[in-house]
Structure 1
Amino acid sequence: MTDQEMRAALDRIIQRRDDIDDPNRYQLSDDPRDVLAYLRKHSRGMPEHVRRADVEDGLVLRVWLWWDGEAAELWLLDRADELAMNRRSVGARLGVATGQGLVDRRVHKRAMLSRATGIPAPAPASSARGREEWIAAHRRAVQAIASTLVEHRELADEEAAESLIEVRRDLHDDVCTPAGITVIDWAVTELAAVPAVAALPDSHPLRQAITAWAPLAAAFRRIPDR
C-alpha cells in the first residue's frame, strides 16, 4: 500500500463529504488515523453509497497504517540493536519471550518489507562503514574473547546461553560483523550478571575476557555513523 494510494483514498473520502454537504466535514483532517476515527463517529445517517465507499477507502487507510507500523517497528528494533539493549526487555514490549525470538522477528520484518517494496530495507546504523573498518582492525581480539565466552558456556544462564549460540555460530562460520559485535556485547553483559561468573577470581580466563571486552565495546560504540 503506497503513500499515493493512501492519499487518493483520503481525497475520495473528503470529496464525498463535500458532495453531500456533511455538516461535520470541518472535523476531517489529512491524518489517516483521525479520518478512520471520523468515519466511525459520523457515518450514521449518511447515504448508503457513501457509507459503502467509505468502508472501501477506510480499508485502504487501515492497510497503509499497518505497513507504516511495521516499518516503524523495524526502525525501533534496529535502534535497539545499535544501542545493544537487552533483547528480552525489548521483546517484552512486543510479547516476545526470548532474545532469539526478537532476532527472528526483526529478520522477518526486514524480509517482509523488502518483498513488499521491491527494494532492500535500509540496513541498521550498526552497518556503517566506519564500524566495518574497526572490525577489520580488531577482528583477532574480538574473536579471541568470543572463543573464551563459548568455551565457558556451561556457566551461562538461559538468557546468556541464547546469545552464546549465536556467538558460537559466528565463530564456526568465521564471521565477524557489526551485528555479531552486538551479540557478543549482549553475551558479555548477560554472563557478567550470572552469580557463578561474578564469583570467579579476576585471574579466571572468563573474567579476563569480560574485562578485556569493556574497552573494545566502548570504542566500537563511539564510532560515528557515516
Structure 2
Amino acid sequence: MGKLYLVPTPIGNLEDITLRAIKTLKEVDCILAEDTRTSGKLLKHFEIDTPLQSHHMHNEHKQVDILVEKLKGGVSFALISDAGTPAISDPGFLLTRACVENDIAVECLPGATAFVPALVNSGLPNDRFVFEGFLPIKKGRRTRLQILAEEKRTMVFYESPHKLLKTLTQFVEYFGADRLVSVSRELTKMYEETIRGTAAEVLEHFTVKPPKGEFVIIVGGKP
C-alpha cells in the first residue's frame, strides 16, 4: 500500500519550506501539483526531479479513483498546491477523504499557510476564530454575510484583488463601519504589508490605493 503526503509549500518566500518537505518531495514516486508550471519552478530551485502530475480543481473529481488504485498498488504521492497547505481553499480534500475511506495512509506535514501569520499579526483576538476562506461569489453570499454579522469570534477570509473593494464595502454594510479589520497582502514577499483599522478606514485606504496581490482579511467578531 502506498501513502499520500500533503506537503505545504512557501506562500512567497522560498526559505519558508521545511527540510522535511524537501526530503519528502524527493522520496515520493510522484508529485501531484495544482499548476505544474508554478510548482516546476519551486522543484527546480531545490533540485527536486520527482515526476510531476497535474491535479487541480477542474480534474480532481476524475482522478480520485485512479489515484486511489495506484496508491493501493504501492505508489506514493505528495500533494502540493501553488502555495501554502493543500486543501485549505485549494485541492486536496477529495483525495484525502478517498484515502481515508480506503484505509490508505495519509500524512500532512506542518508548514506554511497564509491565514496564520495574518491572524496573529492582526492584533485581533486569535484564541477563538472561524476560517471562512473565500465568500460565495454570488449565490448565498448575502445570506452568509447576514449570518456572519452575528459571529462573535474573529473571522478569517481570503480575497482576490479585484473583489477586495466589493468585499470591504459589504463588510461595512453588514458588520458596521466601526468593526475592526486587518488586511494583509503579499505575505512573506517583498511588498508585504498589513493595514489595520475600522472597516470604513480600511475600505478608504484601498479605494485610494488600488489593491494588488493576494489578500487575507481578518475581521473582529461582533462585540
Q: TM-score, normalised by structure 2?
A: 0.27
* More strand per residue: 2
Bigger RCO of structures 1 and 2 (CA < 8 A, at least 6 apart): 2
* Higher alpha-carbon Rg: 1
